[in-house]
Amino acid sequence: AQRVTQPEKLLSVFKGAPVELKCNYSYSGSPELFWYVQYSRQRLQLLLRHISRESIKGFTADLNKGETSFHLKKPFAQEEDSAMYYCALKTRITQGGSEKLVFGKGTKLTVNP
Amino acid sequence: DVKVTQSSRYLVKRTGEKVFLECVQDMDHENMFWYRQDPGLGLRLIYFSYDVKMKEKGDIPEGYSVSREKKERFSLILESASTNQTSMYLCASSLLGFYSPLHFGNGTRLTVT
């Protein structure tokens, strides 16, 4: 079964410190992974996706197939990074020709001044 | 910009009532999804649809049904609301494609008393 694990419910760092939000997945196929972010009183939105290999708002994430991980990293955290972060795994539904997204339980990041 | 609109921001219903949650997207997306979001449990997929009149069960479909009569509209139905269905409900849509991200609505906070 497909599963996404975010081991930390809460993560607190000081402004300027490095931050790493952990994500591990379980999937027998070829994974496509995403990070979504939800700022206070805003809708859930895409932060970055594995296929794009981009850096958004200073965040990067590397897929490690050997460790089945997709950790989110930022070298210098900012107060505006405080938010709820969700890792998500996209899986194929062969019969229907569609896909679904399985989410982890989320990590609440607080960046203190 | 993609717009996913959920008809109600807050709803209060009584136990046993039939509840309709409506979602409309304006970008001609094939896929539409209903998730519920609970603290400590993350996002859990209830139902999704990849075409008009097509639906697939997600991970927690019990007590829910859906309707997709038009491509832009995806309705979630609680046949007989119960207190354990008190939650934040999120609608999302995406293009058909493994790398397509989900676009979320603002959510409907449903309270069942």
Interface residue ranges in chain A relative to chain B, Cβ cutoff 8 Å: 6, 9, 32, 34, 36, 43-46, 49, 51, 86, 90, 92-93, 96-106
Choose among A53, A35, A38: nearest CA to A101: A35
> What digits encode the pLDDT tens for the residues A59-70?
999 889 899 999
pLDDT level of residue A95 (50, 70, 90 thresholds): low
Choose among A101, A91, A81, A69: nearest CA to A14: A81
> What digits encode the pLDDT tens for the residues A4-44?
999 999 999 999 999 999 999 998 877 889 999 999 999 99
Q: Name all domains of chain A by residue range, CATH numbers in brackets.
A: 3-112 (2.60.40.10)
Tell me: pLDDT of A98 over 90.
Answer: no
- Among A98, A105, A108, the strongest candidate for a mutation testing the B interface, having the largest count of B CBs within 10 A, is A98
| Chain A contact present for B44, CB below 8 A | yes
Q: Do B56 and A98 touch (CB under 8 A)?
A: yes
Q: Name all domains of chain B by residue range, CATH numbers in brackets.
A: 4-112 (2.60.40.10)
Q: With pLDDT > 90 as the criterion, what percentage of chain A qualifies?
A: 68
* CB within 8 Å of B41: residues ≥ 6 apart: A105
